[in-house]
Amino acid sequence: MEMPVDKPSLDLPRKPGVYLFTREDERVMYVGKATDIKSRVSSYFSKNPDREMIPRLVAEADRVDFIVTKSPSEALILERQLIRRHKPRYNSRMKDDKSFPYIAITSHDLPRILYSRHPPEGSKRWGPFTDAGAAKKVVELLRRFFGIRDNRNNLPFGYIESDDPDDYRRRVRAIVSILDGDAGILIKGLQDEMDEHSKNLRYEAAARSRNMIASVNGTISEQAIHSRFYQDCDAIGFASTGDSGMVTILHAKDGVIEGQTEYPLIHRGDASESVSCVLVEHYSNRRPPKSILVPSQVGESVESWLSDLRGSRVEVKIPKRGDLAKLRSMADRNAEVLVRRSRRSSSGSLEQKAADDAAKLLGLDSLNHLVCFDMAQLQGVERVGASVVFRNGRPSKKEYRTYRVKTGANDDLRMMSEVVERWLKHQEEWPDMLLLDGGETHLSTIGEMLERRIPRGSFLLASLAKREETLHMDGMSPMVLDRRGRVLVHSRDEAHRFVNQYHRKRRSKGALKDPLEDIEGLGAKKIQSLLRHFGGRSGIEHASVEELKRAPGIGGEMAKRIRGHFHH
C-alpha cells in the first residue's frame, strides 16, 4: 500500500505493524514499528517532533508504506528484517549490518558441530558471538578433544571412532554441557596440555594452549543460552559519538559480573532505538534473563517479545538507585571506553579514512567491505577471473579468490557473469559494494544476473571504467572520481594486478603441459601407456583408430577422440 506524505490524506490502519517512509525512487528512508500504525505515523507531523531527524525525514519521503502484522511482537521481528534488507538512512542498525555467527549442534543421528551465521533448522545453537575468531577456535577444540563430526560429517584428523554409537552421543552431551557454561573439563585438559609443554621446554606450544584457554573462557562467558550463570540480570550500557554507537551487555549473577558482550552500531540519534536494535539481535536465539536493566525506555512491544521468548515475565526497567543502578552505570562506562577506542582506531587509519571518504562521496553509511572483480584472457586461452576484498580500506588478501572460466564463454561480459554467479554461492555476508572493472554494459549485464539470484538491494553494484576513472551506478549519472574515490581505484588496480598474476601463472603452466593433456579423459597414466606403445608422439599422431585401440587402457571412444584431436 502507498500514499503521498501528506497528513490529511494518510489513510492508515489502527493496527500493529511496520511503516516505511519511502522516496519516489523506491529508496526506503526509515522503517518503524507500531502498536497502532495510524497513531504512530501521525506523531511525525506534530509541531514539536520528539526527534531531530523527523522534519528531514518527512521532507525527503514521498509516501508512507505499511505492513499490518498480527501482533506488536511480529512487528518487532519484521522491522528488524526490513532494516537489514533496506539499510535505511535514518535507522540505527548494527555495524556493517551483518549477522553474528553461532555455534550449532545439528539434529543428525550422529550430530555435527559447526560455526555459522545461518545455523540449520532444528539445530541446537549458542550465540550470537561478537568475537568470531574465539568462537571458531572453540569449535576446533571441541572437535579435537571430543572427536565430533563437522558439517561434512568428517571426523577430526587422526581421530579413530568407536564402534559404540552411545559413546559418540555421550561425547556430544559433554560438549553441550561445555557450551552451556560448564567448561571445566575442557579447560582442565588444556591446562594439563600447557603444563606438559612447559615441562618439556616447548614454550611456543605452551603459549598456544594458554591462548586456547583464553578463547574458551571468552567464548563461554559471551554466550548465555541455557546457562545458569547469567539468567538473573543483564545490564545494558550505551554510548555514542557522532554516528558511531556502542551497546554493552553485562551478564551478572547476584551482583557479580560474569561476562560482557559488545555491539558496535551505526547510531541515528535515538538511544532507545539503538538499544532496541541490539536487544532484538542479542536475544533472538537465547533465553532472556528475568531482569534487564536499560538506559532508556525501549517500549512495551520489546518487553512483551522478551517475555514470550523466556516463557515468563521479563522485567525491563531503568534502575534509579542502589546496586542495580551502579551496575547499569558500569555498563555505560564500558560502552564509553569502547566507543572512544573504536573512534580513535578508525580515525587514525589512512586506509579507513579512504573508505570513509568514498562512502561519503557515494552517500553510503559505510564502505568497510568492498569486493572487486576483474577478468583476463589471451586469444581465448586460459580464461580466468579474480576477486579482491578490501576491509576498512585495506586489502584482505586471505579473502582473494581466483576463478577459471568453466563454460565456453569467450567475451568479457559472459565470463564475468559466470564467476560473479559462482562467487555468490559461497557468501555468508554481503559486501557494502561489489565493484566491476568495466563500463555501463558490465553494470547492466551483471545487474540483471544478480536480480535473478538475490534480493534487490542486498549490496550496491558499480563498475569503474579506466577511461578517466569513470564510476557507473544505477540511478545516477557517470561520475569521474577525484581523490575521495581513491579506495575504489586502488581496489580496481589491485584486482587487475591479481588477475594478471594468476593469468601469467596459468599460461606458464600451459606452456609446459603435454599437448595430449588437452584431450578430455586422457590423464598422465594413459599418456605414458601411449608413449610406450608407439615409441613417441609421432607414432601416436599417425596411428589409426584401430592401432590406437591396441594400446593398453585405450578404448574405442578414446581412440576416436585421440585421432580426432590430431586430424580435426
Tens digits of pLDDT across the chain (568 residues): 444 466 656 778 898 899 999 888 888 889 999 889 988 888 888 877 767 778 888 888 888 888 888 888 888 888 888 888 888 888 887 765 555 678 899 999 899 999 887 888 888 887 666 666 777 877 887 888 778 899 888 888 777 777 777 778 877 877 787 777 666 666 777 788 888 888 888 877 787 777 767 766 655 544 433 333 334 688 899 998 877 889 988 877 655 565 678 888 888 778 888 899 889 888 887 788 888 999 998 888 888 899 988 888 999 999 888 777 888 888 888 888 888 777 666 555 678 888 988 998 888 878 989 999 998 876 556 678 999 999 988 999 889 999 988 877 777 888 899 999 999 988 878 899 999 998 899 999 999 999 888 887 788 999 998 878 899 998 888 999 988 899 999 999 999 889 888 887 776 655 445 567 677 777 767 777 787 788 777 788 888 989 888 888 888 888 888 888 877 6
Residue found under cell 588477475:
499
* pLDDT in the model for residue 4: 43
* pLDDT in the model for residue 446: 93
- Measure CA 120 to chain center: 16
Domains 233-346 and 357-506 alike in fold: yes
Q: Are 159 and 115 in contact (CB under 8 A)?
A: no
Q: Quote the Cα angle for 341-347-352, to 5°.
A: 115
* Residue 497, CA distances (Å) to 261, 406, 503 in order: 40, 22, 10
Q: What CA–CA distance (Å, rounded) separates 176 from 293?
A: 29
3-state DSSP call for residue 5? coil
Which H or E run contains 499?
helix 486-512
DSSP E strand stretches across 205-357 = 233-241, 244-253, 256-266, 291-293, 315-317
| Alpha helices (runs of H) in 223-321, residue ranges in sequence order | 271-283, 300-310
Cell triple for 441: 554494459
Q: What CA–CA distance (Å, rounded) separates 352 from 365?
A: 13
Q: Are strands 381-391 and 401-404 parallel, antiparallel or unpaired?
A: antiparallel
* pLDDT in the model for residue 230: 35
Q: Which amino acid is at 554?
A: I
Side-by-side strand order, sheet with 256-266: 93-94, 256-266, 244-253, 233-241, 291-293, 315-317
Cell triple for 5: 506524505
* pLDDT in the model for residue 225: 31
Q: Are 442 and 469 in contact (CB under 8 A)?
A: no
* pLDDT in the model for residue 222: 44
Q: Taking the domain 357-506, which CATH number applies?
A: 3.30.420.340
Tell me which long-range contacts 258-263 makes (C-beta under 8 A, separation of at least 24).
258/221, 258/229, 258/230, 259/221, 259/222, 259/230, 260/221, 260/334, 261/130, 261/222, 262/130, 262/334, 262/335, 262/338, 263/94, 263/95, 263/130
Q: Are 267 and 243 in contact (CB under 8 A)?
A: yes
3-state DSSP call for residue 121? coil
Find, among 39, 33, 9, the residue nearest to 20 by Cα: 33
Q: What CA–CA distance (Å, rounded) separates 499 from 438?
A: 14
Q: Are 74 and 16 in contact (CB under 8 A)?
A: yes
* pLDDT in the model for residue 495: 92
Q: Quote the Cα angle for 150-156-157, to 5°.
A: 140
Domain 515-566, CATH homologous superfamily name and number = 5' to 3' exonuclease, C-terminal subdomain (1.10.150.20)
**DSSP assigned state of 268:** -
Q: Is the Cα torsion angle 26, 32, 35, 39 positive or negative in sign?
A: negative
* pLDDT in the model for residue 3: 42
* pLDDT in the model for residue 96: 56
Class of domain 7-90: alpha beta
3-state DSSP call for residue 272? helix
Class of domain 233-346: alpha beta
* DSSP count for the chain of H helices, then E strands: 18, 20
Q: Are 44 and 24 in contact (CB under 8 A)?
A: no
DSSP E strand stretches across 98-138 = 102-105, 113-116, 124-126
Q: Where are the domains of the chain?
A: 7-90, 102-222, 233-346, 357-506, 515-566
**Which neighbouring-strand residues pair with 339?**
none
